[in-house]
Amino acid sequence: MGVDIYSNDGVLVSVDEFLGSIIKKPKVKRVIAGIKDLIEKLDVEYMSKEAFVPLEKALGREVAGNLNSVLDTNAGKWELEVLDRDKLVEIIASWVENYVEEKDSFDCYLSYSEEIVALLNVVLDACVTTDVPPISSMEIFGSYRYSGLYEVELNKPYVLFSKEDCFELMPIFREGKC
């Protein structure tokens, strides 16, 4: 995690750290349901449905291969155990990294960044019950020289939270008190 000094605009978290820290085992079904809901209700005017096709296929393969039926004795119903937490984090992270595109040795970008932000906000909403700001954007850095960030990994996607959403900005008075 770090501060984006290039634009002086927020807090950076790598996608792996972000997913690994917020997706907990009891929330896996909720995350999958949220992803499914996002894809079904996608506003195709603003987002591309084709961006989600690889994610749907990966989740479909894993869920189909992991359908272990378990009888819930309290409700008397059959429930399906789906993916384990680590596999879900791996699928989403690899889906995001699949859209990293390098233009040259100094510049790279993330295609479908709006779709990725929408999906990661769904994951955030499904997993976190406290007051956490929404994701502002996705950033990717192709060169330390151009970004000024030496603690980030190059060509890796980062989640950016806006500083206005994360911190309460208060003026400092002459007495040195806020």
Whether 177 is in a domain gets the answer no
pLDDT tens digits, 20-70: 888 888 888 888 888 888 888 887 677 888 888 888 888 777 655 554 444
With beta carbons less than 8 A apart as the criterion, state whether 60 and 36 touch. Answer: no
Please list, residue by residue across 21-42, b when 16 or more beta carbons sit within 10 angstroms of its beta carbon and e when fewer do: ebbeeebbbebbebbeebbeeb
Whether 62 is in a domain gets the answer yes
Domain count, the chain: 1
More confident residue, 32 or 171: 32
Whether 126 is in a domain gets the answer yes
Whether 84 is in a domain gets the answer yes
Residue range of the domain that includes 96? 2-166
Whether 147 is in a domain gets the answer yes
Confidence band (pLDDT; 50, 70, 90) for 178? low
Whether 30 is in a domain gets the answer yes
Q: Provide the 10 A C-beta neighbour count for residue 104.
A: 8
pLDDT tens digits, 10-30: 788 888 888 888 888 888 888
Whether 173 is in a domain gets the answer no
